[in-house]
Structure 1
Amino acid sequence: MSSHSPVTRRGLLKLGAGAAATAALAAAEPLAASAAEGRFELTAPATSLLWKKAMYDETVLQSFAIDNANGHIYTIQVRNGGGSDAAGNLCLTKLSLTGTILGHMYLTGFGHGVQIGVEPSGSSAYLWTETDGISDGETSRGSRLARFKFVNGQTLTTSSSALTKYSPIAGVDNTTCAIDPSTNRLIMRYYGSTGFRIAAFTLASVKAGAPSKLYDIDQPSGLGTFQGYAAYGNFVYILTGNSYEIAPEGNTYITCVDLRTGEQVQRARSVAGKSLDFREPEGMAIQIVSGAPRLCLGLASGVEKARKASIFYKTQLV
């Protein structure tokens, strides 16, 4: 979220080459990471934002993103229907901050929706997702990133002209992304030659086709089933765990990792929404309310073919 005006073509022409580069960089990162100081205290209690809300389709929530400028939540699921998981077909739902369904899109052949990002643009929003899904016969995972405008009722395929595709790191797969609204950075998780890694780029540089990589760290091993992530300033937060069907006692954890060093700073179990049935952790996002950040985590609940989404948040910084 930013109130800064974009750098215009006319403005750039008036600037010298060096000044233009400086202005472009300012637009790319309107807030330095130092403006998003501190990290979330993971042992602090969580507060409910949404409780058992329906999405457009009835499948399990996979992840979500929050448009802080316009006050909307975007959720993503595997699309209703047989074979959709392996096919990589997804359903994107637009919700109000109280959980009212405001619209939807279908994404054909994109992947699994492990994590998504949103980029506000005036009264509109552009979604960032994985795309060009590769199937292993059971599920599908993206091999590139895509940016597209939310248009209610539209169905996109991987060849749709509405998509702009990006490969900030070439030759990798299992690509997903999130956007840090405090720094306008794109955070990308991917699988490379050494396993899963997490990289940070200026969002503007990715969009310009010349990605400026700020950090690139190993994802810590042994965390459990990966379920989503979000970044605030210099820290990335990783959500792991399983549903009660697999882990009846609950094994949802959030792990904080320093993007600058790859150091695991804190890890804590979350019991947010512990009374939910099924209760599978799914996705993370940063919400900004009156300038203050919230670390949000998603939880899926309900029975098969009638799944619901809940979101909780933490606010305490250290």
Structure 2
Amino acid sequence: MIDKNRKKVLTYTFSIGFLMIVVLLMNIRVQTKDNPIQAGKYDFTLSNANEFAELDITWPSVLQSFVIDEKNNHIYATQVISAPGNGIAESFGITRMSIDGKRLDSMELEFAGHGTNIGLENRNGKIYIWASYDKTNGNGALLGDWKLVYFEYKPGERYNQNSPELIELTQFRGTYYIPTIDNKNRQIVLRHGMMAYLYNLDEVIVGKKNPIGTVNVPEDLSYFQGHSVDEGILYWYSGDTNRMNYPFMVTSFDFYTGERLYQREIYIGKGASLDFIEPEGIYIYTDPITKNKALMVGIVTGPVGGRINSVYTYNFPLENYK
């Protein structure tokens, strides 16, 4: 039997403990819902766009995609550098730049394809690029097959499909997968058509093929212009040249539920007198100091031979790196 004084103490202790739990839960709610730039389900619809950088990429063709090495503050961007047509594979190049878009160096991938989207992995201080690579004969003729590869970024190098530096992930052989990587959480997304598959990056490296999440992207977003992944959330960029049939749109999806989370139209350049404007590339940046997130999108404008390749940002903490 519990005496009255002890019962009062237990009741008081329980009440204090319950109150602490309530406060803790309220604090968690505030951190994950009311502070959208720190939440796993980052709400990128609440801020306005700012021009972040004009990219000094190497070749005159348009930007295709970009990723950021958040540890070293470098931007890596892809471009088509050769498009012969007539059944011959395209080649693409990669430019490395400082965080403000100034060119540092570049490398080339012969007959590799379009360079639609790449993943960047920082492993033990080395930068590895993940990409889909077209399979061709010795003259670059397409064979209707692909392989998923990664390779160390090396300035000035020119690789082809037989270069020993290319490491193939053979479990994905024969399917056109377009990668993007969340390096800090060791996750990789492979997009095939309107399906996106989330994997543990380290499992993929050792030959496994066990998706931990999937998203079936709606057909109205089919004009693909890039994707990014952060904390199990897919960010999908879509829209066609000059917004002729498809608006510029960023949509996020939860890989674990398949739920569409947030969507915003990208109004940059809308209504302006531009002969050419196209969305190209997307990245979700996480500030290594504050952990705040920023949506970054690529926009290309200007005439042939004079393209302007710009990155715009929402929420980016400019004071840290500019």
**TM-score if structure 2 supplies the norm length?**
0.76
Note the C-alpha offset of 1:68.
0.5
Distance in 2 (alpha carbons) for counterparts of 1:94 and 1:237: 23
Any idea what the Cα deviations from partners look like across 1:10-49, whole Å, max 9, x if unmatched?
xxxxxxxxxxxxxxxxxxxxxxxxx962223335312222
Distance 1:64 1:139, change over 3 A: farther
5+ long unaligned stretches in structure 1: 1-34
Higher Cα Rg: structure 1 or 2? 2
Matched, 1:150 2:141: no
Note the C-alpha offset of 1:98.
1.0
Which residue in the other structure is 2:163 paired with?
160
Any idea what the Cα deviations from partners look like across 1:207-250, whole Å, max 9, x if unmatched?
11123421123222111411001111121111011222x629x8
Distance in 1 (alpha carbons) for counterparts of 2:52 and 2:98: 11
Matched, 1:98 2:100: yes
- Listed as ranges, the matches of 1:1-318 within 5 Å are 37-42=40-45, 44-51=47-54, 53-80=55-82, 82-83=84-85, 86-133=88-135, 143-169=146-172, 171-173=174-176, 175-191=177-193, 196-244=194-242, 247=244, 251-274=247-270, 277=274, 278-289=276-287, 290=289, 291-315=291-315
Note the C-alpha offset of 1:262.
1.9
Q: Percent of counterpart pairs with the same letter?
A: 26
Secondary structure of the residue that 2:185 maps to in structure 1? coil
Q: What RMSD over aligned residues (CA atoms) do the two structures have, in Å?
A: 2.9
Which residue identity does 2:133 align to in structure 1? T
Distance in 2 (alpha carbons) for counterparts of 1:168 and 1:283: 27
Distance in 1 (alpha carbons) for counterparts of 2:262 and 2:91: 35
Alignment check: 8 A CA contact 2:74 2:98 kept: yes
Note the C-alpha offset of 1:167.
4.5
Further displaced range: 38-47 or 70-79 = 38-47
Alignment check: 8 A CA contact 2:75 2:98 kept: yes
Distance 1:84 1:122, change over 3 A: farther
Instruction: Give the count of matched residue pairs.
Output: 273
Distance 1:99 1:198, change over 3 A: same
Which residue identity does 2:122 align to in structure 1? P
Structure with greater helix share of residues: 2
Distance 1:142 1:101, change over 3 A: farther
5+ long unaligned stretches in structure 2: 1-37, 317-322
Which residue identity does 1:256 align to in structure 2? S
Which residue identity does 1:38 align to in structure 2? K
Structure scoring higher RCO (CA < 8 A, sep ≥ 6) equals: 1
Which residue identity does 1:48 align to in structure 2? E
Secondary structure of the residue that 1:183 maps to in structure 2? coil
